[in-house]
Structure 1
Amino acid sequence: MRFFGMLLFLTTLLFAKIEHFKTIQSDFTQKVTNDQNKTIVYEGTFYATNDKKALWIYEKPVSKKIYFNNTRVLIIEPELEQVIITTLENTPNIAQLLQEAKEVTPNRYITHYQETTYTIHTQKEQIEKVSYRDKLDNAVEILFTNQSTNLFLDEELFRAEIPRGYDIVRE
């Protein structure tokens, strides 16, 4: 659930920090390093629209899709043959994030959400990297590459289909 919360926050942050876009697409690499210095690396693609739809597609080391809209989040986990459906009750306020993110050096911002400090690095009005320490003291870094804005993204991309036979968990 911590992972989900971070994605929810990050999705909202991306909406907040990149101004004047209709759509965004970016590859991402997420590195999570524990206190024994062991790292797991996730890779995938991120899509979002300015009307708060988002899709995180994890490709490595496991396949997973996470769909966001105005009211819910749907997580499809093929390896577990499971779908998690949850609401957005803990979504941070976008306006509040913009007001609270402080530029500490050029292209580097700091913001806080639920006792976690996030450092955001930007370049040319695009988010380059987000890093933070989670509640288990893991160092998390998400790098964004090949970022494009204002591309046509078909609405079908954001329409999740629950595979037949998958367990459905509602939270």
Structure 2
Amino acid sequence: MKQLWTLLILSGALAASPISVPENFKSDFEQRITNPDKKVIHYKGTVRFSDEKMLKWVYEEPTRKEVCSNGENVTVVDHDLEQVSYYLIEKGFDLAKILNSAKPYKDTKTVFIAKYAGKNYTIQLDAKKHLWRVAYYDDLDNEVLIIFDKMNYGKGKLPLKSLLCEAPESYDVIGE
């Protein structure tokens, strides 16, 4: 979950990036987390980003979950557990600073290397210069790889309702 929160914060920095990033985007994603023992967990779903800081991840596999953030708070709706959790983000991740410090790897125009807060990040763009892959090691020494697929960049803000997590009133609530 910590890896996901790191990505949630990245949303607040996309617009200020030297890498061309849209005002909003929608994409499918696959997230692979490999622990130090080489055990791999695969997640799949969709993601929406808007308004420099709003981000909604909808996990479809292996569990059904929604994770929404405004850059300061995170809401997690776990449909399999019928549970809603609310968190304040304590340790930020500033993608703008990461992207601003990113330097092309060798002479490439699609692969960038950045160092921020003692961590190394690899950022890859596709042929259209759209965000394609982000890789890094999290605080637990897990290798995190997020691959975006069917990336759709857009202009303007997405409707706020499409970026909020909603859960039935019957779900248990943690940390409200």
User: Any conservation in 1 of the 2:78–2:84 contact (CA below 8 Å)?
Assistant: yes
The aligned counterpart of 1:149 is 153
1:160 aligns with 2:156: no
From the superposition, tell whether residues 60 and 99 of structure 1 become closer, same or farther in structure 2 (CA, over 3 Å): same
The aligned counterpart of 2:174 is 169
Shift of 1:29: 0.5
User: Any conservation in 2 of the 1:14–1:127 contact (CA below 8 Å)?
Assistant: no
- 1:20, 1:44 → 2: CA distance? 20
Unmatched runs of 5 consecutive residues or more in structure 2: none
Deviation larger for 142-151 or 130-139 = 130-139
AA aligned to 1:166 is Y
TM-score normalised to the size of structure 1?
0.83
TM-score normalised to the size of structure 2?
0.81
1:117 aligns with 2:115: no
Deviation larger for 21-30 or 91-100 = 91-100
Structure 2 matches for 1:46-125, cutoff 5 A?
A: 46-93=47-94, 95-105=96-106, 106=108, 107-123=110-126, 124-125=128-129
The aligned counterpart of 1:132 is 136
Three-state SS of the structure 1 residue aligned to 2:125 is strand
Deviation larger for 129-138 or 22-31 = 129-138
User: Any conservation in 2 of the 1:74–1:83 contact (CA below 8 Å)?
Assistant: yes
- Percent pairwise identity: 33
Alignment RMSD: 2.5
Deviation larger for 137-146 or 101-110 = 101-110
